[in-house]
Structure 1
Amino acid sequence: MATIEECRAALEKLADSMGNAEGDVRSAAELDRSVSCHITDLDVTFAGRLADGRIDVRETLEGPPREKAEIRLAMTGDDLVALVEGELHFAKAWGSGRVRLEAGLRDVFRLRKLL
């Protein structure tokens, strides 16, 4: 089972990848939205902001998200690490229910370019 530190490191790696993206991926990442990622097996939520093409994790909270972020993710720590490492394909994980994504319809259409 992935640790909180491994999950935070995976989110930082994802933020770096998004910050270095180009083209359609870069334009999709340039949303300015609140973001939360609930790690279900650790019952921890990383909360922050997607802005300027990066995810900035500002808080690590125990339990589920306290506020409803504009973009909400939920998954196990192992799935987060596997997604960021390229070992798990997001669309398959989302389609099978291993990853939950909740966002406005427009945001989902823009975010699909990241996937």
Structure 2
Amino acid sequence: MATVDECRTALHELSDRMAEHAAEVGTKIDLDRPLACTIKDLGVSFHGRLTGGRLVDLTDGDDPKAKIRLTTTSDDLLALVAGQLDLAKSWASGRVSINANPFDLLKLRKLM
């Protein structure tokens, strides 16, 4: 099981990767939504805001108003960020849960 600090670091790495992908897409990703990530096995949450292709203002705690919600385990989060776990396959198998508007999911997929 990963630690809370490792999960926090992984989310910051994910933010950097999303920013890189947004630059590669070359068009503005019109996605400005509050996001929350719950780590089931640690019983912790993080939240921030997706804007301009980046995850900004990342902080500890849940955001009940989050429009995009990711739920996973600490090890799966680290594996996703490291590229060892495919997001679509892990979502389809139930290892990762993403609750969001279908249009937001399509935009988010471009950033991942």
The two structures have a TM-score, normalised by structure 1, of: 0.86
Matched, 1:109 2:106: yes
Check the 8 A contact 1:46/1:57 in 2, yes or no. no
| Residues 2-29 of structure 1: per-residue CA shift (max 9 Å, x gap) | 000000000000111112223438644x
Task: Note the aligned Cα RMSD (angstroms).
Answer: 1.8
Equivalences, count: 111
Gaps of 5+ in 2: none
Output aligned runs, 1:25-104, within 5 Å: 27-28=28-29, 30-61=30-61, 65-104=62-101
- 1:6 aligned to 2:6? yes
**Runs of 5+ consecutive residues of structure 1 not aligned to the other structure:** none
Q: Deviations over 1:38-72 (max 9, x none)?
A: 000001010110112211243212xxx35131110
Relative distance call for 1:52 and 1:68 in structure 2 (3 A) is same
